[in-house]
Amino acid sequence: MSNHLFDIIADTSHPATHNVVRFPDGSAWTRAQLLERTARYANVLHSLGVKPGDRICLQIEKSVETMALTLGAVRAGAVFVPLNTAYTTAEISYFIGDAEPRLLVCDPSRREALSQAADKAGVTHVETLGADGLGSLASLADAASPDFAPVARGADDIAAILYTSGTTGRSKGAMLSHDNLASNALTLKDYWQFTPQDVLLHALPIYHTHGLFVAINTVLVSGASMIFLSKFDPDQILRLMPQATCMMGVPTFYTRLLQHEGLTRDATKHMRLFVSGSAPLLAETHREWSARTGHAILERYGMTETNMNTSNPYEGDRVAGTVGFPLPGITVRVVDPDTGKHFGVDEIGMLEVKGPNVFKGYWRMPEKTASEFRADGFFITGDLGKIDARGYVHIVGRGKDLIISGGFNVYPKEVETEIDSMDGVIESAVIGVPHPDFGEGVVAVVVVTKTAKLDDKQIIAHLADRLAKFKQPKFVFIVDDLPRNTMGKVQKNLLRDQHKDLFKA
């Protein structure tokens, strides 16, 4: 039995001497170096008692060592759980309590703070790995053997758990199998026509589906290479762009590059593909990019639970405001969210997806998993949309008031719970409104008692150590009451309309 995902990634038909990871300073790692490093990490995991199916939680900064570690986890048959580096200690406590990992890997600066939470959760080992590639785990890898026979894992075995926000404010762990990840990478390689000659500008974080699975896995299975950047910086991107052929980014990347005088047709003439995802791309941004560079951004649609579902075509019309067609092997339909009745052309309803990309369920939440799937196997995405006469999928809204800010999911209930816990707060409503950089900005509307001395700054300060920065409201408004319908439900649509121009220049 093979290790399904790792064997595909480590395809020996790609030259071992190929520089698969390149760095801004001109240095590089070959495929052979990367694969050897994965073997060393796999040996370290084995020595720490990590067995097939055991979880390892990672809250570490982006580095090539982080990439090697995640691949080493797959090679060792473990399940890796990447966690946003912005999460607070309180948030991490929940994740490790739920995932029950054998190992927690964190930045050296956070070891002391997280060790107590790890001990409480019964985590056997806490090791460190920094953005510079140094730390206790890296040292162990340096001393480990460069040989490791991949642990046998099948297509349906779990390779990773990615946490996504839940309507109750508690995150759910989406279990992604070896084939969920492998099939999607192979599909994207073909659909976006990646070849060994491609060089991808990689400036995305790698604790998120986009940077971790869409970008890295597509590069690795195609034999391409990537210029690996610690973060997005417009000056650096434009300086390195002549060495690249493709870029994947969130809408913020494109809006910020459009503000740069160095973005011209000449600067982008050798590029063949710009991909945008993780948040809605404004049609205005799409049109401005095309006018400025001569390139049409390719927008696609995916989820933590499903990887990529749809894509605008590589060859053909990339229509602004749409997310293109269902990818090969994936079916997307629009239904009545209550009855499941199938809708026709241009009818708005709930988007449902079925295919090899769709996750295996939520970690230790069988009832929640069952409620999110139809009897015929379609996953209920929670997104409202339609399919037009040409077959293009349109996302027109999101169920459950999900906010996507900077490519990250924010469920209002989690933020509201923290605000409502404050003395003097009666209730709150958290909404997302259009933001030119982040897709949506988080805004809180709060009702306080008449005697309360609370203001917006105090509420924002209260949340600073309780929620990751991307979840924190950019504005807080104190009001006398919230708009409600006849059933007493808060009408967030009215609040969104009221504040829709808040972030406009």
Q: Can you tell me the distance from the alpha carbon of 329 to that of 160, in angstroms, rounded to the nearest whole number?
A: 22
Convert the pLDDT of each residue in 462-479 to its tens digit. Answer: 999 999 999 999 999 999
User: How many angstroms from the chain centroid is the CA of residue 203?
Assistant: 13
Q: Are 203 and 249 in contact (CB under 8 A)?
A: yes
% of the chain with per-residue pLDDT over 70: 97
User: How many angstroms from the chain centroid is the CA of residue 347?
Assistant: 29
Structural tokens at position 30: 């070959």
pLDDT over 60 at 487, yes or no:
no
Q: Considering only 2-11, 390-399, 449-458, which range has the smallest mean pLDDT?
A: 390-399
Residue type for 344, please? G
Q: Can you tell me the distance from the alpha carbon of 454 to that of 461, in angstroms, rounded to the nearest whole number?
A: 11
pLDDT of res. 167: 41
pLDDT of res. 337: 85
pLDDT over 80 at 122, yes or no:
yes
Short-list 438, 471, 476, 482, CA closest to 459: 476
Q: Can you tell me the distance from the alpha carbon of 28 to that of 33, in angstroms, rounded to the nearest whole number?
A: 9
Q: pTM here?
A: 0.85
Which pLDDT band holds residue 388 (cuts at 50, 70, 90)?
very high
Q: Can you tell me the distance from the alpha carbon of 434 to that of 411, in angstroms, rounded to the nearest whole number?
A: 16
Q: Are 301 and 277 in contact (CB under 8 A)?
A: yes
Q: Name the average pLDDT for the chain.
A: 93
- Give me the mean pLDDT over the 16-39 stretch: 97
Q: Considering only 139-143, 204-208, 359-363, 449-453, which range has the smallest mean pLDDT?
A: 449-453
pLDDT over 50 at 486, yes or no:
no
Short-list 238, 252, 198, CA closest to 222: 198
CA–CA distances in Å: residue 410 to residues 279, 407, 431, 436, 468:
12, 10, 10, 17, 10
pLDDT of res. 66: 98
DSSP string, 183-218: HHHHHHHHHTT--TT-EEEE-S-SSSHIIIIIIIIH
Q: Are 47 and 143 in contact (CB under 8 A)?
A: no
Convert the pLDDT of each residue in 135-194 to its tens digit. Answer: 999 999 999 999 999 999 999 999 999 998 644 457 899 999 999 999 999 999 999 999
Q: Can you tell me the distance from the alpha carbon of 176 to that of 159, in angstroms, rounded to the nearest whole number?
A: 6
pLDDT of res. 455: 92
- Give me the mean pLDDT over the 424-448 stretch: 92
Q: What distance, in Å, lies between the first and last C-alpha atoms of the chain? A: 58
- Give me the mean pLDDT over the 252-258 stretch: 92
DSSP class of residue 86?
T
Residues 6+ apart with CB under 8 A from 339: none
Which pLDDT band holds residue 417 (cuts at 50, 70, 90)?
confident
Q: Are 419 and 463 in contact (CB under 8 A)?
A: yes
Structural tokens at position 350: 């709930």
pLDDT over 80 at 274, yes or no:
yes
Taking the CA atoms of the chain, what radius of gyration do you get in angstroms?
23
Residues 6+ apart with CB under 8 A from 134: 108
Tally of CA atoms within 13 A in the half-sphere of 362 that contains its CB: 19
Convert the pLDDT of each residue in 289-311 to its tens digit. Answer: 999 999 999 999 999 999 999 99
**Interstrand relation of 79-82 and 55-59 (parallel, antiparallel or unpaired):** parallel
Convert the pLDDT of each residue in 186-224 to its tens digit. Answer: 999 999 999 999 999 999 999 999 999 999 999 999 999
